[in-house]
Amino acid sequence: MSDKATLAQGRDYLAIPGPSVMPDAVLNAMHRAAPNIYEGDLVEMTHGIVKDLRRVARTRHNAAIYICNGHGGWEAALTNVMGPGDKALSASVGYFGQGWAATAEAQGVNVQMLNFRQRGSVDLDAVADALKADKTHQIKVLLGTHVDTATSVRTDPRGLREVLDATGHPALLAMDCIASMGCDRFEMDDWGVDIAVTGSQKGLMVPPGLAFVFFSDKAAEMRKTRQNVFNYWDWTPRANPEFFPQHFGGTAPTHHLYGLRAALDLIHGEGMENVWARHAALARAIWAACEAWGQEGPLEMLVTDPALRSHAVTGLKLSGDQGTRLREWVEQQIGLTLGIGLGFAMKGDPEWDRYFRIGHMGYLNGQMVMGLLGGIEAGMKAQGIPHGAGALSAAAEVIAAGPVFDD
Ligand SMILES: *Cc1c(COP(=O)(O)O)cnc(C)c1O
């Protein structure tokens, strides 16, 4: 019997970078009978949801809801503004930037790839050079990733906006905000972002299955120049439906909407500024612990410059097979699930086992982060992974100082 005894019984903690922890309020809101989809509560509720989603993205402009995951959101956003033969410029720092560009290519878009993966952050001068070289303004869209969930690099959309303005290039600025929305500060209108894509299962704390595409009036104008946008992906009726089912291109995602309503109540009840300040503080607590562990032994954060680190996910590297051994131990022995590494190696390669990620997005508080860090430290001890001392106390100092509003 004793080989079965563990410390895992109790409430599990899924600390992967999406799907994130679901609040009880979200789960409870979804636990109900099927509602009428033609009139009544659901119809009323949807108007408020669209308004409150726009408040999360910080836009007064358009919002379209799709029944799909983030990959579907990518495709939806792209197809409304570009088609075969059109040109896009991609400023990518990792796996997800590559994925979005590949989606565009599969739609027949000619993508000029700027891959900054090795450099570790977007080189704005290189983006400027590519825009300047495009004298006849063939590039219709500049694709960026706010937080690349594989590397955990954060790209400031303001930098990309400045480069577009400085070069006088009219391309739309489209940001993948799937990992970041509701975690890292994002101001769509003030920062001059034309298209923002996100999904339901990360900062928004709802099960996977909804994607949201926010778009500016300039992007809506670009849509008008496009022919052959498939009905289902067309954002025009979704954002401005004449009758209710057009919001969703068919039957509403009923239970997701109830869950989303509850999540938006949590988010706006807390306030966007406070949500961001909580994520900023909790991320710093995790970095403080990682820095202390890394003083001795192999642990390294993938992003060395704190200004480039996401507040939603932290990518980490150990050595040999330690990453996998740590993940397996904490999952089996203490009920904590950490994220796998993405985009560095394929499963089966020796490199694969070095990487792991901590998701810290959405429904997360100080005591969860302290538990998470304590769990990782226990895992390193159990697995004989050398690490520096003082990590938990460094994290506790950050937690003790409270929310961080200064970024
Ligand atoms: C999760 C994620 C995606 C993919 O979303 P899916 O819902 O898995 O399709 C794309 N981009 C980023 C930045 C993500 O974090």
Q: What is the pLDDT of residues 354-399, one digit of tens each?
A: 999 999 999 999 999 999 999 999 999 999 999 999 999 999 999 9
Instruction: Tell whether ligand 1 has an atom less than 6 A from the beta carbon of residue 96.
Output: yes
Query: What's the whole-number mean pLDDT along residues 124-139?
Result: 98
Mean pLDDT of the chain: 96
Atom 8, ligand 1: which residue's CA is nearest? 70
Percent of the chain with pLDDT over 90: 94
Instruction: Tell whether ligand 1 has an atom less than 6 A from the beta carbon of residue 403.
Output: no
- Give the confidence band of 2 by pLDDT, cuts at 50, 70, 90: low
Q: What spacing in Å lies between the alpha carbon of 71 and ligand 1's midpoint?
A: 6
Query: What's the whole-number mean pLDDT along residues 27-52?
Result: 94
Q: What spacing in Å lies between the alpha carbon of 346 and ligand 1's midpoint?
A: 18
Residue 346 pLDDT: 87
Burial of 5 from C-beta contacts in 10 A (0-12 / 13-18 / 19+): exposed
**H or E segment to which residue 393 belongs:** helix 391-401
Hey, what amino acid is at 185?
R
Inform me whether the pLDDT recorded for 108 exceeds 90. Answer: yes
Give the chain's length.
407
Q: What spacing in Å lies between the alpha carbon of 17 and ligand 1's midpoint?
A: 9
Q: What spacing in Å lies between the alpha carbon of 247 and ligand 1's midpoint?
A: 22
Q: What spacing in Å lies between the alpha carbon of 127 and ligand 1's midpoint?
A: 24
Cα(112)–Cα(148) distance, integer angstroms: 19
Whether the Cβ atoms of residue 233 and residue 75 lie closer than 8 Å to each other: yes
Inform me whether the pLDDT recorded for 296 exceeds 90. Answer: yes
Q: Is 138 left (phi over 0), alpha (psi -120 to 50) or beta?
A: alpha
Q: What spacing in Å lies between the alpha carbon of 118 and ligand 1's midpoint?
A: 21
Cα(195)–Cα(63) distance, integer angstroms: 10
Instruction: Tell whether ligand 1 has an atom less than 6 A from the beta carbon of residue 18.
Output: yes
Whether the Cβ atoms of residue 305 and residue 121 lie closer than 8 Å to each other: yes
- Give the confidence band of 183 by pLDDT, cuts at 50, 70, 90: very high
Inform me whether the pLDDT recorded for 403 exceeds 60. Answer: yes
Inform me whether the pLDDT recorded for 68 exceeds 80. Answer: yes
Atom 3, ligand 1: which residue's CA is nearest? 70
Q: What spacing in Å lies between the alpha carbon of 135 and ligand 1's midpoint?
A: 33
Which ligand 1 atom sits closest to the C-alpha of 208? 7
Residue bearing tokens 């990792």: 94
Judge if pTM exceeds 0.85.
yes
Cα(302)–Cα(326) distance, integer angstroms: 17
270 phi and psi, to 5 degrees?
Answer: -75, -40
Q: What spacing in Å lies between the alpha carbon of 145 and ligand 1's midpoint?
A: 10
- b/e map 46-74, b = 16+ CB within 10 Å: beebbebbbebbbbebbbbbbbbbbebbb
Instruction: Tell whether ligand 1 has an atom less than 6 A from the beta carbon of residue 235.
Output: no
Cα(338)–Cα(336) distance, integer angstroms: 7
Three-class DSSP category at 271: coil
Hey, what amino acid is at 187?
E
Hey, what amino acid is at 29?
A
Residue 176 token pair: 């993948």
Residue 348 pLDDT: 86
Residue 228 pLDDT: 87
Instruction: Tell whether ligand 1 has an atom less than 6 A from the beta carbon of residue 101.
Output: no
Q: What spacing in Å lies between the alpha carbon of 392 and ligand 1's midpoint?
A: 30
Burial of 107 from C-beta contacts in 10 A (0-12 / 13-18 / 19+): middle
- Taking the alpha carbons at both ends of the chain, their separation in whole angstroms is 52
Side-chain half-sphere exposure of 191, counting CA atoms within 13 A: 20
| pLDDT: which is higher, 344 or 97 | 97
Inform me whether the pLDDT recorded for 182 exceeds 80. Answer: yes
Inform me whether the pLDDT recorded for 350 exceeds 90. Answer: no
Inform me whether the pLDDT recorded for 1 exceeds 60. Answer: no
Inform me whether the pLDDT recorded for 4 exceeds 90. Answer: no
Q: What spacing in Å lies between the alpha carbon of 177 and ligand 1's midpoint?
A: 9
Whether the Cβ atoms of residue 146 and residue 176 lie closer than 8 Å to each other: yes
Mutate to test the pocket of ligand 1, among 178, 180, 181, 358 (most ligand atoms within 8 A of CB): 178
Residue 382 token pair: 């159990």
Which ligand 1 atom sits closest to the C-alpha of 148? 13
Which ligand 1 atom sits closest to the C-alpha of 73? 9
Inform me whether the pLDDT recorded for 103 exceeds 70. Answer: yes
Instruction: Tell whether ligand 1 has an atom less than 6 A from the beta carbon of residue 179.
Output: yes
| Closest to 152 in 3D by CA, of 242, 283, 62 | 283
- For residue 153, list its beta bridge partners: 148, 309
- Give the confidence band of 343 by pLDDT, cuts at 50, 70, 90: confident
Where do runs of H (alpha helix) occur along 58-179? 70-79, 95-106, 124-133, 157-166
Instruction: Tell whether ligand 1 has an atom less than 6 A from the beta carbon of residue 199.
Output: yes
Instruction: Tell whether ligand 1 has an atom less than 6 A from the beta carbon of residue 178.
Output: yes
Three-class DSSP category at 395: helix
Catalogue all structural domains in the chain, each as residue range(s) with its CATH number. Answer: 13-20+271-401 (3.90.1150.10), 32-269 (3.40.640.10)
Cα(336)–Cα(373) distance, integer angstroms: 10
Whether the Cβ atoms of residue 198 and residue 73 lie closer than 8 Å to each other: yes
Cα(80)–Cα(359) distance, integer angstroms: 31
